[in-house]
Amino acid sequence: MSAFIRPDLQAFAAYSAHAMAETAVAPTVIDHLDTNESSYDLPTPLKEKLAWEYQHTVQTNRYPDGGHADLRAAIADYANHSVALSGLTATADHITVGNGSDELIRSLLIATCVGRSGAVLVAEPTFSMYKILATTLGVEVVAIGRDEATFEVDIVAAQNAISHSSTPVRMVFMVSPNSPTGNSLTRSELEWLRSLPTDVLVVVDEAYFEFNQESTLFDALTRPNWLITRTFSKAFRLATHRIGYAIAQPELITILEKVRLPYNLPSFSQAAALTALRYAPDILVTVIEIQAERQRLSQAFKKLPNFQAWPTTANFIYGRPTVHSVETIFQKLYQQGTQIRQTGGGLRLTIGTPEENNRTLTHLNQALTT
Ligand SMILES: Cc1ncc(COP(=O)(O)O)c(C=O)c1O
């Protein structure tokens, strides 16, 4: 590789959303249950409204609105449901939007660590992009573990890491519910996060918020060192449009606005997010169906032989085979068209439509018993 490339990037593996495997016979039906998107496309009437927006409001020759004013205000209105009884309100000044919440993670790393000594703390297994983005930016990652039975963060290890890391920990990434393990932050985890000094930024990634309705928005509005990220890629069924947002106190948002690219969100994506918020009840109706399917699948997984599944508050379930290897089960499911994610020493299965879930159950049962 050319000398102008950073040596550490040469050995680095790029993020791959869909792991591939060899299939002897191509499956006739393929279920994409590996990236936790919604399995439900937007309903046709809403797509028609979006097509209308594209025709009548989007000017393709012009750069998008780089300030996202309308969208930030609409997101604030939507987010305020999470603090309805508190007397607090988020405004457009509390919001920044990104090209997916992935972009916001990168902006946060730039704003806190890049160009000076600084590390970020993650509790593994967790969302892999924190480590990937940090590594590409040359930011050190301090990884601590979780309880093997509950996947709660090892708070003693986390506290030790923050107190003794030779590189100062500037930011802690937490996901609630955590991916891939599906558990929400517990009271003691939250207490610990709230006890951190204000020179450490706490980021709570609420990508799956709509599936459990638990939010730390109150903390984001009242603490200078707390920020939440969310996305339109999951419950809002807009993964193709790449829209994420962060909520924090305006001082912090102003900094994130400085580090993002000027036109980071295409006009059509902004129109899609605005339309989605206007018709939120019509779009989020599938959350209820997914929650019902979550319950049904969780019960059914308990009865599967040779498999341990964990409780979940998200739109996916995490499990580990107890006899076969994770790789064997992954391969067997893949051969049958059920594409899931192999991660953190286990398997993460997105909850899909009832038909997809029926196939998941059949294929998993077969894989575990043959
Ligand atoms: C925990 C978590 N955060 C963030 C993201 C990325 O979301 P986005 O599509 O908004 O970049 C994902 C996607 O799978 C995720 O699981």
Instruction: Average the pLDDT over 215-243 and give the result.
Output: 98
CB 113 within 8 A of CB 173: no
pLDDT at 1 over 80: no
The 10s digit of each residue's pLDDT in 251-301 is 999 999 999 999 999 999 999 999 999 999 999 999 999 999 999 999 999
Q: Looking at ligand 1, which atom is closest to the CA of residue 231?
A: 10
Asked if the peptide bond before residue 224 counts as cis, ω within 30 degrees of 0, the response is: no
Residue 234 and residue 206 share a domain: yes
Residue 154 and residue 208 share a domain: yes
Q: Name all residues whose Cβ lies below 6 A of ligand 1.
A: 35-36, 100-102, 127, 175, 179, 205, 207, 231, 233, 239, 244
Domain boundary among 231, 257, 278: 278
Residue 218 and residue 151 share a domain: yes
78 lies in some domain: yes
pLDDT at 14 over 90: no
Q: How far apart are CA 323 and CA 172, in angstroms?
A: 35
Residue 210 and residue 108 share a domain: yes
| Residues with Cβ within 8 Å of residue 345, at least 6 apart in sequence | 125, 320, 326
Distance 102 CA to ligand 1 centre (A): 6
User: Looking at residue 313, which CATH number applies to its domain?
Assistant: 3.90.1150.10
* 15 — pLDDT class (breaks 50, 70, 90): confident
Query: Number of folded domains in the chain?
Result: 2
Residue 51 and residue 23 share a domain: no
Write down the pLDDT at residue 11. Answer: 80
Distance 103 CA to ligand 1 centre (A): 10
Nearest CA to ligand 1 atom 8: 100
Question: Which residue out of 175, 176, 205 has the highest number of ligand 1 atoms within 8 Å of its CB and is therefore the one to mutate?
Answer: 205
| Residues with Cβ within 8 Å of residue 81, at least 6 apart in sequence | none
Write down the pLDDT at residue 116. Answer: 95
Instruction: Average the pLDDT over 61-66 and give the result.
Output: 96
pLDDT at 25 over 80: no
353 lies in some domain: yes
Residue 344 and residue 256 share a domain: no
Residue 214 and residue 334 share a domain: no
Q: Looking at ligand 1, which atom is closest to the CA of residue 35?
A: 14
Residue 59 and residue 208 share a domain: yes
Provide the sign of the torsion angle of the four alpha carbons 357, 360, 362, 365, taken in this order: negative
2 lies in some domain: no
User: Looking at residue 187, which CATH number applies to its domain?
Assistant: 3.40.640.10
Distance 175 CA to ligand 1 centre (A): 10
pLDDT at 17 over 80: no
3-state secondary structure of 173: strand
Write down the pLDDT at residue 26. Answer: 84
Range of 169's domain? 45-278
Residue 224 and residue 243 share a domain: yes
135 lies in some domain: yes
DSSP 198: T
Domain boundary among 257, 278, 299: 278
Residue 271 and residue 286 share a domain: no
* 23 — pLDDT class (breaks 50, 70, 90): confident
Across the beta sheet with 307-309, the strand order is 307-309, 316-321, 346-350, 341-343
Q: Is 345 left (phi over 0), alpha (psi -120 to 50) or beta?
A: left
Write down the pLDDT at residue 262. Answer: 95
Write down the pLDDT at residue 85. Answer: 87
Nearest CA to ligand 1 atom 12: 207
pLDDT at 24 over 80: no
Distance 302 CA to ligand 1 centre (A): 27
